[in-house]
Structure 1
Amino acid sequence: MPLRFLDGGESHGKALIAVLEGIPSNYEVDIDYIDNELKRRQQGYGRGARMKIEKDRVDVWSGLRGNKTTGNPITFIIKNKDYENWREYFENDVKPEDRIGVARPGHGDLVGFHKYKTGDIRDSIERTSARETAIRCAVGALCKQMLLDIGIDIRSKIYSLGEFYDQSIDLFNDEDYDIIEESSMRCYNKHIEDGMKSTIDMCKEEGDTIGGRVYIGIKGVPIGVGSYSNWDRKLDGILSMAIMSVQAVKAVSFGKVLDLPLIGSIYNDEAYFEDGMLKRASNNCGGIEAGISNGENIEIYAVIKPIPSVKKGLNSVDLIKKQNVTSRYERSDISAVVPACIVLENVCAFHILDEILKKFPSDDFNELKESIERYRSELLKY
């Protein structure tokens, strides 16, 4: 059975909720691992005041017996502590004079107001908020830990923020990755990190926000995951859709397509045999060819736009009064680039596991693990 989930909940509502279906039975879930992924999402330099309010933890309401999966749908709940400050809004009809009509350019305010016609931008704010990514992280975290147990690891770092670019490293060198994990900017180079922090500080002082790029590495996906047989089965297409669905992501690329001359003899990854093993001279295509994993690390870059809730204000409109105004400010981060790293790790985990389960259909985790181990062994002979 393919994986699927549906999530719901408002930014300041009672809770965020998701129901995940298709996880094999007999997998020992580490709830602390999921909570730690939620904690990682809340960290990072440039985060806003709400991170001081919410200390996200997941409650699992179904699908586990003890901590072991049963094969039944798994229900996740993350309660919003900030709900108590918003209870009156959610429990009562909004007064006409309290409706929000002033839109923030670049956010979902203007388009949501016209699409759903509730007469109040607040209804769009509550669901377009990046707060929704907390529950997606919880869903992805379960998938991510399951992937680790079948030899697939997903890691991330910041690639750039504003004009500052961090140096490239091997994410799967544990010693180097520890530096990334300990950095509040998920940055390897300390000098570059200081420059990024200064940029965020400057934006905060000026009432502005700033974006950048993140880098996601996925190690251990065996050759043959995904398909070129139909457009909607291509692995890079599936991952692109998932990544672009995350708030503030405006572009995605695989491998070094943006960093190298687009000359065929330079860009394409030459292949050769060494001691009977298929090897690649480079990984410029980012681990995917023709929509199928080629056994190399999958390398993804995503562009995170500046947060549209700009304190200094932008030219905008009041949709209720039909007037030209300055945009309003809604509490937010100065930069979402660092937390986007963690969100995208977990978003990718869901879809990688889904594609693994399509190739190795299993209702029981032990069967899944055995199937993948057998497949890896067969690849060595092919």
Structure 2
Amino acid sequence: MLRFLDAGESHGRALIAVVDGFPSNFKIDMGNINEELKRRQMGYGRGKRMSIEQDAVEIWSGVRGSITTANPLTLIIYNKDYKNWKELINTEADEKEKITVPRPGHGDLVGYFKYKTGDIRDVIERTSARETAIRTAVGAVCKQMLKSLGIKIRSQVIEIAGIKEEKQDLFNDKVYDIINKSEVKCFNKKVEEKIKKRIDEAAIKGDTLGGAVHISINGMFIGLGSYTQWDKKLDGILSHAIMSLQGIKGVAFGEGINTEMTGVDFNDEIYIEKGNIKRRTNHCGGIEAGVSNGENIEITAYMKPIPSVKKGIDSIDLKKMINVKSRYERSDVCAVIPAAVVLENICAYEILNEILKQFPCSDFDTLQEQINKHKDYILKYMEE
């Protein structure tokens, strides 16, 4: 199985992750990881931080050349903005510099009382979405291995500030190419223009916007996950990971939030065609009883508006204990678009981790053999 810890702070020297359990004999494409990092930095409504950083990852251990050795992978991304914050980060804050006005909706208030450092700056440095850069790098390595196993993960923005777009077939390459090149990760150009206009309006008002992302996982085989214990269910595992992303407040699989459908309509009918098991629909989103059923895994994640609101909203000064307006930290107007890229990579890590739990091995070739054997068993059953 995989496990990783990441460290580093928003304005610190670097972001670091150590990934343990990654199989040997897999060729890592560094250019591909950096392309994922570049995708994370793009999108309409991004803040000034993205014009400073040009993220690129280095791998300090776990590879020989570009081939994995099964030793822990150490990934590092340097923060270019560190030079502007070096003095502040490396010295103890005096009373005048301490931040004591929390932003509602952020980790400022809860972190202030939980860790008792007396300065919200210490909370900001770790709760910042800057941490998602290293999580994206970890997921990008996993996504490469999944692709070699025939599993692809793609995403689309389906709503920002109430402006909605229909979910598309993300594995139609022509359709996805349009989405991937879009500044708002949408297919419909009219919807894109409406969203960009809405983001511009929010920026002028000093406000922020939330929305929803559709993630689709293709190439899944039957049988990943388990119903034997509550913490082994695949949709539960993915939900936990997705909800851990900054700003995500809800997650649904398939048509899971549709309360109007009846059992006859919702549950995906099964039939046999030319010896193959097929589904008429995929309302369950590719997972039944916590186990993948061979259909695409379809997920929708819902993101709230960013709490760094330039206009300011009601808050308090924790030092003076008076009512004030919230302060402003440099941030995006809308982070839904980059969140889509981060979510792809978060899901990639979790899917690969579950695969390695089910098919324990130390090297990539053995992993491929075990998965192919499992797929052959399913095909043989259908042929019989």
- Give the root-mean-square deviation of aligned CA atoms: 0.7
Within 1, Cα distance between the matches of 2:116 and 2:99? 13
Counterpart contact for 2:167–2:214, Cα < 8 Å: no
The answer to whether residue 377 in structure 2 is matched with residue 381 in structure 1 is no
Q: How does 1:263-274 map to 2 (within 5 A)?
A: 263-274=262-273
Per the alignment, residue 141 of structure 1 pairs with 140
Matched residues in 2 for 1:356 and 1:151: separation?
A: 13
For residues 184 and 244 of structure 1, the distance between their equivalents in structure 2, rounded to whole angstroms, comes to 24
Residue 261 of structure 2 aligns with an amino acid whose one-letter code is L
Aligned twin of 2:280: 281
Counterpart residue identity of residue 5, structure 1: F
User: What does residue range 95-244 of structure 1 map to in structure 2 within 5 Å?
Assistant: 95-244=94-243
What is the distance in 1 between the residues matched to 2:21 and 2:260? 42
Contact between 2:223 and 2:292, CA under 8 Å: does it hold in 1? yes
Distance 2:137 2:87 in 1: 28
* CA shift for structure 1 position 260: 6.1
Q: CA deviation at 1:259?
A: 3.9
- Please state how far the C-alpha of 1:377 moved relative to its aligned partner: 1.6
After TM superposition, list the pairs within 5 Å mapping 1:1-382 onto structure 2. Answer: 2-259=1-258, 261-382=260-381
SS in 2 for 1:224: strand
Distance 1:257 1:144 in 2: 26
Q: Report if the CA contact (8 A) 1:260-1:267 is conserved.
A: no
The code of the aligned residue for 2:116 comes to: K
Structure 2 unaligned blocks of 5 or more: none
The alignment-based identity, stated in percent, is 59
Q: Deviations over 1:243-264 (max 9, x none)?
A: 0000000000000122462310
Conservation of the 8 A alpha-carbon contact between 2:221 and 2:375: yes
- What is the rounded CA distance, in whole Å, between the counterparts of 1:46 and 1:258 in structure 2? 28
CA distance in structure 2 between the aligned counterparts of 1:342 and 1:182, rounded to whole angstroms: 13
- TM-score by length of structure 1 reads 0.99
Whole-angstrom CA distance in 2 between matches of 1:366 and 1:214:
34
Normalising by structure 2, report the TM-score. 0.98
* Count of residue pairs brought into register by the alignment: 381
CA distance in 1, matches of 2:79, 2:223: 41
How far is 1:343 from its partner? Answer: 0.3
Q: Secondary structure at the match of 1:77?
A: strand
Alpha-carbon distance in 1 for matches of 2:168, 2:106: 34
Residues 16, 78 of structure 1: 8 Å contact kept = yes
Check conservation: 1:261, 1:267, Cα contact below 8 A.
no
